[in-house]
Amino acid sequence: QVQLVESGGGLVQPGRSLRLSCAASGFTFSDYVMYWVRQAPGKGLEWVAIISYDGSNTYSADAVRGRFTISRDNSENTLFLQMNSLRTEDTAVYYCARVPASSYYFDHWGQGTLVTVSS
């Protein structure tokens, strides 16, 4: 079965960096576009970044552009999110999510990893 397992979250000070990982299994990882989606405490859902099948195309939401970088290693079936210059407003649970071919809803989600940005 499809599994997405995030790791790397934690408590970090404003201005510092953090790298999240998402280990994928149960499907051919290199066949799928992947997203990072976040949810601030008690709030709704917000997409953060998207990456194409082979990693050649990426795009980030306005709120994180220039600070966050999405990447993937298809040989290791792993998705990454490098987060630099973190701000308190980046505090959220970060989910990796898969989108099915030719569409952009999220058919599978990881369990999430909490990032807390605080001094």
Partner 1 sequence: EIVMTQSPATLSVSPGERASLSCRASQDVSSNLAWYQQKPGQAPRLLIYGASTRATGVPPRFSGSGSGTEFTLTISSLQSEDFAVYYCQQYDHWPTFGQGTKLEIK
CA 27, CA 13: separation in Å to the nearest integer? Answer: 36
What track of x and - describes contact with partner 1 for positions 35 through 64 (by CB under 8 A)? Answer: x--------xxxx-------------x---
Position 103 contacts partner 1 (CB under 8 A): yes
Q: Which is nearer to partner 1, 53 or 106 (CB)?
A: 106
What track of x and - describes contact with partner 1 for positions 5 through 34 (by CB under 8 A)? Answer: ------------------------------
Question: Which one of residues 49, 95, 115, 117 is an interface residue with partner 1 (CB under 8 A)?
Answer: 95
Q: Which is nearer to partner 1, 16 or 107 (CB)?
A: 107
